[in-house]
Amino acid sequence: MNIVIVGIGEVGRHLARSLSEKQHSLTIIESSEAMAEALRDQFDAHVIHGNGSSVATLAEANVAEADVVMALSGDDNANLVCASLARAMGAGRTIARVHAATIRDQWLFDVRQHFGIDHLFSTQRLAAIELAKHVRNPQGLLVHELARGRIEVQQVRVAADSPFVGKPLRELSLPKRFRIGSVQRGERSFIAGAEDVLEPGDLVTIFGAPKVVSEMLPKFCTSEAPDEEVSVVIFGGGEYGFSLAQMLEGRRCRVRIIERDEALCQDLSESLRHTVVIHGDATSLQQLKEEQVGEADFFIAASEDDEDNVMTCLQAKNLGTRYCLTLIHRADYADVIVRNRERLQIHAAVSPREAADADLLRFISTERANVILALPDGTEIVEAVIPEDSELNGRKIREVKWPKGSGLVALIRASEALVPGPDDEMEAGEILYALVSPEAHRAFMRLMTR
């Protein structure tokens, strides 16, 4: 593929190395002359020293022939202008890195659509999502977000005493915008249909609004459903900690943030309705004892300092915290911590860079549909934009002959995200998400291009 990267910070550097090793045709635009010179020695790529928001520079990079243009600098405005211009100049797909606040405010104003950009992402929000997954499901079953966080995917094991056992799915009293997507039974996996019957021990993948999914979980695993709220302590009230607290508060989580900066504490208190904000120093053992961190279910170190993050996790674990999670910003530190996390008794270590890489690499495909998540059984969650010339445009979901082994699970239209029903009509420009079995992959991809 022909790929253009604009801005080569920590995220762009690691991604460029990966793409270069996979023999993609890579062009890098970098505003720093010294950095551009160094990149020429490091990568098998065409490196241009220039302004990525300049039409002349983008033309020199031949973005009109690019399959993907990624604006990854630390400047939101420059990234939005760059990606928008590249799209207008003929680039196949455009991606822009933005601040987490821009993603959070999408429900107020669709920046992505306004600038004509295919995908916006925030490294802070992606890392917070990864941390939140472990809180929602520390046992390691799947937790994922679709449709900009408005649809949640979870895997849950069906208990023997679940009221859903032994009944066809069509007879279950399920919320309107909730979907049982797939079932894994031993070695066999299948996309769930109306006549399928759940059995004890089945691993089911469910979809719905986060609040609905949370309310439905106890009906699948009644014997394992927790009776009390989960206690979460977050070290660091910066963008990572704020995004994480916002995702967790109100979802059976009692959240506390410990933050050194008094002014930031005031801002957090005004923005987070259900989070207790503590002005203090979490690197102090005495502070951790005073806040009874040892009694918390989760301690999450989300500061900008890797050493502080790791050390506070070790202290919290020694005090008795059940699960300790940490952010690791430096690439070389991340590998070491991940390899030694069991010995360190750190439940999970999340690298913002690796979270961003995973999000971006799914766009490195010539197909109109992107595989955004592969389940352990081989079933894929596929994302696709409905093009103007598609046979899906203007048709109801029930009117389409979907390939056997596939099923729609989410739909984004304008600022609305929903789990679609059979009478929902699809329109060009809307983004659909589908569960697709390995056997149905080729047929589904053909449907997306007709």
Reduce the DSSP state of residue 136 to 3 states and report it.
helix
Dist CA 244 CA 127 (whole Å): 9
Cα distance from N-terminal residue to C-terminal residue, the chain:
22
CA gyration radius for the chain? 23
pLDDT along the chain (450 residues), means of 10: 91 84 90 92 92 96 96 94 97 94 83 91 93 80 75 90 94 91 92 94 92 87 64 97 92 92 97 96 96 97 96 96 94 80 88 89 75 87 86 92 92 82 90 92 85
Burial per residue of 180-209, b for 16 or more beta-carbon CB atoms within 10 angstroms, e otherwise: bbbbbeeeebebbeeebebeeebbbbbbbb
| pLDDT value, residue 255 | 97
Q: Are 131 and 138 in contact (CB under 8 A)?
A: no
CA–CA distance from 335 to each of 326, 328, 355 (Å)?
13, 9, 13
Which of 141, 176, 172 has the alpha carbon at shortest distance from 157? 141
| pLDDT value, residue 223 | 52
Q: What are 391's two structure tokens?
A: 């046979």
CA–CA distance from 297 to each of 234, 253, 279, 314 (Å)?
11, 10, 21, 14
Q: What are 80's two structure tokens?
A: 């939005």
Domains, the chain, with CATH or none = 2-121 (3.40.50.720), 141-220 (3.30.70.1450), 228-357 (3.40.50.720), 360-449 (3.30.70.1450)
Burial of 88 (0-12, 13-18, 19+ CB in 10 A): middle
Residues 6+ apart with CB under 8 A from 433: 146, 147, 151, 372, 381, 382, 383, 408, 409, 410, 411
Q: Which residue has the tokens 């990864």?
A: 130
| pLDDT value, residue 364 | 82
Dist CA 446 CA 257 (whole Å): 48
Question: What does the H/E/C string look like for 325-361?
Answer: EEECCCHHHHHHHHHCHHHHCCCEEECHHHHHHHHHH
Question: Using the 8-state DSSP alphabet, how is residue 221 labeled?
Answer: S
